Chains A and B, each alone.
Chain A
Amino acid sequence: MVTNPGKPRPSRIRKTPYEILEPYLFLLPALTIFALFLYYPFARTIYLSTWVTDALGRPKKFVGLDNYTIRLFGKPEFWASIVSTLKFVVVVAFGGLIIGMITSLLTYNRYKGSDFCAAVYAMPVAIASAAASMAFRMIYHPTGGLLNNLFGTQINFLGGTYQFWSVAAVTIWLQSGINFIFISAGLKGVPADLYESCSIDGANYWQKLFHITLPTISPTLFFQIIINIINAFQSFSQVKLLTNESPNSSTNLIVYAIWHDAFRAQRFETAAARSVILFLIILAITLVQFSFEKRSVNY
């Protein structure tokens, strides 16, 4: 502890046992819940990933890293799932960012109706992925859905090569709200005098956008990309509901694969191993974010 010479040290008063205990009592409810439903299952997931389990998820035989090396890395299905997940994450992260960017720029200046537009752009944050997935199931319906009716086609949007893009589009739709909210807040933080001096120099809208706005809000955009990536990695309901529990390999995203391993294949050990991999990926992304955030403070 750093001693502060300017301030007299408070005289030591003996604390009563209750006073010593009290802080822990305040923390007890939160820490108990964390212990039971976060720390324990986290450790348990790592533990289970090194065992073979029975159909009820009880460990039966210790196998070391076999669940990773043989049952996951040795299977093309696993790599296909990882590649699909990464592709999905990139598409959703950038798709969300671009929509967020456009909607924020469109509502940056105030005019009649701009508040309404801003409210609509933020709205998807309130809508559940399960509810949106059910709505989009009707929109994508192969014979009588909105899209096919509009185009006069009979495309099976929820199968084949369309499936990936259909699921990604719903996810971008869901994420567009949070992108709008954050990027909008970032835009409002750009100092007005930056634009003024630029206008005097005769810069047009696009020059201002690329030379002032984007560089200034780049930390916001970076942060938003990270949020999009983490959220996209966690997509589940849209995969399960839009593909009717039968995604093809392009849509077999990691969380769906975890669920499928555990609840359809009764392979809790590979579900656990996949969960550990998901955790490591998210951890890596979070660490990248932290290191960049530290650097961008000097900005």
Chain B
Amino acid sequence: MSQAKKYRMTKTQKKRMLKNAGNFALNIPILLIILVPLVYTLSISLVNPDQVYKTLLFPHSIQFGNYVNAFTNPSYNFLRYIINSFIVSTSVMLCQMVTASLAAFAFVFLKFRGQKVLFLAVLATMMVPGEATIIANYLTVARWGWTNSLHVLIIPYMTSAMGIFLLRQSYMTFPRELKEASTIDGCSNIRFLLQIAVPLSRPALGALGAYVFLNTWNQYMWPLLTTDADTYRTVQVGISMLYDIDAQSMGLMMAGVIIVIVPSLSIFVFMNKQLINGLMAGAVKG
């Protein structure tokens, strides 16, 4: 009896294991489609130049020459690009948090003339794709002599409708009495914002921050138009500058791709929840 029971147990276990393996196996084709390009890029960045065009998926030999080269080659100042991108992405992120918190606060907690019109004006910005205004924006900043600077990469992106909406939604979940009570207690608006609204809207700020940092880090078109000096170049433009003239630069290029993907994937892994919340709020604008 006990033996039969044992036998049956293992049978169901086996069945479950098979079912699990079957379930997982169905994923393999698309898993490969997503992962192979990344693994292959990593492999190419690690092989010797003479192996670049022969590598199938995994490298035969490993060398870190391309990574050393990316950081030490005087004509390809990768460290500079990374620093620039970090400065720009962090500044854009912090500025959006500030401007969006302020604007969302006014829309939710204050009453003023033209509130509806101004809110519609913010809403309308979501209808305009960035690519449709990018030429005129370029001409403006060129006229101002802003090209080839870091501020040209930061200032135009210091706010976004998506940020304002995200924080507005968060503020609207606060109990009404919270603001009323603190006003009666003589708490100024700015103090309410800093000491109550900001701490309570931390999840929304996190979502906004992760999303904006990633988007700015991944930005390509605007930096391409507005910067052509090495000193102000950002990572995405930096990696796409090299051409695949020979195997040597191919490997360097792939090392560059891996280096710029690492921060993006780190945000994806370590701030996954925030990033996905941000994406869901910002998806419409691409």
Please report A residues at the B interface, Cβ cutoff 8 Å.
Answer: 20, 22-24, 26-27, 29-31, 33-34, 36-42, 44-45, 48, 56-57, 99, 102-103, 106-107, 109, 111-114, 117, 119-139, 141, 143-146, 149-150, 173, 176, 178, 181-182, 185, 226-227, 230-231, 233-234, 236-237, 241, 244, 255, 258-259, 262-263, 268, 271-272, 275-276, 278-279, 282-283, 286
Instruction: With A129-B218, A138-B41, A279-B129 as known contacts, state yes or no: A29 contacts B99, CB within 8 Å.
Output: yes
Q: Which of B6-58 contact A (CB under 8 A)?
A: 19-20, 23-24, 26-27, 30-31, 33-38, 40-41, 44, 52-57
User: How near does chain B come to A289, taking the closest CB pair, in angstroms?
Assistant: 9
- Give the contacting residue for A138; candidates B44, B103, B136, B220; CB below 8 A: B44
Stretch at the interface among B65-73, B74-82, B201-209, B259-267: B259-267
Q: Which of B24, B26, B27, B122 has the largest number of chain A CB atoms within 10 A? A: B27
Q: Enumerate chain A residues within 8 angstroms of B260, measured Cβ to Cβ.
A: 128, 131
Cross-chain contact B155 with A33 (CB below 8 angstroms): yes
B283 at the A/B interface (Cβ < 8 Å)? yes
Chain B residue at minimal CB-CB distance from A272? B135
What is the bound-complex CA distance between A24 and B107, given in angstroms?
10
Q: When A and B form their complex, what is the total count of cross-chain residue pairs whose Cβ atoms lie within 8 Å?
A: 267
B221 at the A/B interface (Cβ < 8 Å)? yes
Q: Enumerate chain B residues within 8 angstroms of A237, measured Cβ to Cβ.
A: 220-221, 236, 240
Instruction: With A123-B265, A135-B41 as known contacts, state yes or no: A275 contacts B132, CB within 8 Å.
Output: yes
User: How near does chain A come to B119, taking the closest CB pair, in angstroms?
Assistant: 10
What is the bound-complex CA distance between A103 and B267, given in angstroms?
22
What is the bound-complex CA distance between A57 and B74, given in angstroms?
35
- 10 pairs of A and B residues whose beta carbons are closest in the complex: A144-B53, A128-B218, A41-B136, A126-B268, A26-B106, A23-B112, A130-B236, A41-B133, A30-B103, A37-B156
B171 at the A/B interface (Cβ < 8 Å)? no
Q: Enumerate chain A residues within 8 angstroms of B256, measured Cβ to Cβ.
A: 134
Cross-chain contact A130 with B133 (CB below 8 angstroms): no
What is the bound-complex CA distance between A219 and B110, given in angstroms?
35
- Give the contacting residue for A99; candidates B30, B118, B219; CB below 8 A: B30
Cross-chain contact A106 with B30 (CB below 8 angstroms): yes
Instruction: With A30-B102, A44-B139, A137-B244 as known contacts, state yes or no: A146 contacts B56, CB within 8 Å.
Output: yes
Please report B residues at the A interface, Cβ cutoff 8 Å.
Answer: 19-20, 23-24, 26-27, 30-31, 33-38, 40-41, 44, 52-57, 98-100, 102-103, 105-106, 110-112, 115, 118, 121-122, 125, 127-140, 142, 155-156, 158-159, 164, 189, 214, 217-221, 225, 236-237, 239-240, 243-244, 247, 250, 253-254, 256-257, 260-261, 264-265, 267-268, 272, 275-276, 279-280, 283-286
- Give the contacting residue for A130; candidates B41, B100, B135, B220; CB below 8 A: B220
Given contacts A24-B112, A144-B52, 17 further A-B contacts (CB under 8 A): A23-B110, A26-B106, A45-B132, A106-B26, A113-B27, A117-B24, A130-B239, A138-B44, A144-B54, A145-B53, A237-B220, A241-B240, A262-B138, A271-B135, A275-B132, A279-B128, A286-B127
Q: Enumerate chain A residues within 8 angstroms of B55, measured Cβ to Cβ.
A: 146, 149
Secondary structure at chain B's binding surface: helix, strand, loop or mixed?
helix
Cross-chain contact A236 with B220 (CB below 8 angstroms): yes
Q: Enumerate chain B residues within 8 angstroms of A136, measured Cβ to Cβ.
A: 37
> Can you list 25 A-B pairs with a CB-CB distance of less than 8 A?
A29-B98, A30-B102, A31-B103, A33-B158, A34-B121, A34-B159, A37-B137, A41-B137, A57-B142, A107-B27, A117-B24, A123-B34, A125-B279, A126-B264, A128-B217, A130-B220, A136-B37, A139-B40, A141-B53, A149-B55, A173-B34, A227-B284, A234-B286, A236-B221, A237-B236
